[in-house]
Amino acid sequence: MQIKKTVILQPTEQIEVGVTINAEAPGVYLVNVDSLSGTFRVVEPVLPGLLRMNMKSYGNHNATYDARILAIKPEMLIDNPPHGLYGEMDEQRYHEGYTYSYLLQNVAGMRAVGIKVIGYITSGYEGKGGDDGYASKWYSLNMNKKLITNMATIDHVDGVFIDECSDFPNAASKSYLQQLADLAHSYGLIVWMNTGVFNFDEWFFSVADFMQSTEAWTGQTLNNLHKKWGSRIGVTGFKNTYTAQKAYDLTINAWSKGIRYCYINNKEYTSLAPWFEEYAEMLRAVQGDY
């Protein structure tokens, strides 16, 4: 990363002095030079054997399902650990299919093969209320801080996925999200934020490590924000008529445009298509070319 500041030498003279900073360890770095500041992130390369994918898996865990994920080996697994949102809900009516047996219990097993587990929470549009219609307490700032702390210290996840973020947050919403990101980073966690839409505020890249963009990827033309920040953006898409070849084509299209992660399935996020292994192997064979 380079930070530049203009230094006045004479009334009519000026030069630019650049400061070059090298950092090898993965993480988010804050740099302050006099009155200038900036942040940058060092991203780990994909480990051998892992697939460059942010797989989103929100339930239906059993031995067979987990074995499929372990064989596919996505780089990132966005999921529901025991002390994330659905594991913490204390009234049965809130579970609705996300019962304890359906949660990701094998966090350690996923991490043992190199998969980074990203635990799920929702900001509910910064405490205003989420699309799922849960009780207001599940969207509160204090609740989300509790969930992040428990996922970090009890489940030992690698990151947090913050769903239902406002696409262009106001000052209060930015403060809410900033506090969650700061807490997660204090535990060394990766921070993913999700607006679920194509257009959103560039401000997010100052607080989140990665952003989830459109959840309906069909090969769209990128806007300037995506072109600038593609290495920190993921997209997803799903349709019941998709095949391994179609999923492959959509992912290659995203990668070739500079988008870091693309996840395509035949359903939304609670099952894996029967062709998913074929799709994964097709991608694994070429991921180094993009």
50 in the same domain as 31: no
Number of domains in the chain: 2
pLDDT at 60 (0 to 100): 79
pLDDT in tens, 226-236: 999 999 999 99
28 in the same domain as 100: no
252 in the same domain as 143: yes
Distance separating alpha carbons of residues 15 and 37, to the nearest angstrom: 19
50 in the same domain as 38: no
With tokens 């210290």, the residue in question is 153
Q: Which domain CATH number covers 181?
A: 3.20.20.80
**213 sits in which H/E element:** none
Give me the helices (H) in 135-230, please.
Answer: 141-150, 171-186, 224-229
75 in the same domain as 28: no
pLDDT in tens, 157-180: 999 999 999 999 999 999 999 999
Distance separating alpha carbons of residues 68 and 66, to the nearest angstrom: 5
108 in the same domain as 30: no
3-state secondary structure 76-112: EEEECCCCCHHHHCCCHHHHCCCCHHHCCCCHHHHHH
Antiparallel, parallel or unpaired: β 27-33 and 36-42: antiparallel
Count the helix, strand and coil residues of the chain and give each as a percent rounded to the nearest 5: 35, 25, 40
| Residue 26 lies in domain | 1-42
pLDDT at 75 (0 to 100): 97
Low-confidence stretches of the chain (pLDDT beneath 70): 1-48, 90-101
The burial class, CB within 10 Å (0-12 / 13-18 / 19+), for 239 is middle
pLDDT at 132 (0 to 100): 84
**How many other C-beta atoms can be found within 10 angstroms of the C-beta atom of residue 39?**
12
pLDDT at 97 (0 to 100): 56
CA 203 to each of CA 21, 177, 200: distance values in angstroms, whole numbers, following the listed order? 23, 11, 9
Q: Give the DSSP letter of residue 154.
A: I
pLDDT at 189 (0 to 100): 98
31 in the same domain as 69: no
113 in the same domain as 10: no
pLDDT at 128 (0 to 100): 94
pLDDT in tens, 36-55: 665 555 555 556 689 999 99
174 in the same domain as 101: yes
Long-range Cβ contact pairs of 224-229 (< 8 A, separation 24 or more) = 225/199, 225/200, 226/198, 226/257, 226/258, 226/259, 227/258, 228/202, 229/202, 229/205
151 in the same domain as 22: no
Structure tokens at 122: 């929702």
63 in the same domain as 17: no
97 in the same domain as 1: no
The whole-model pTM stands at 0.82
Overall size of the chain counted in residues = 290
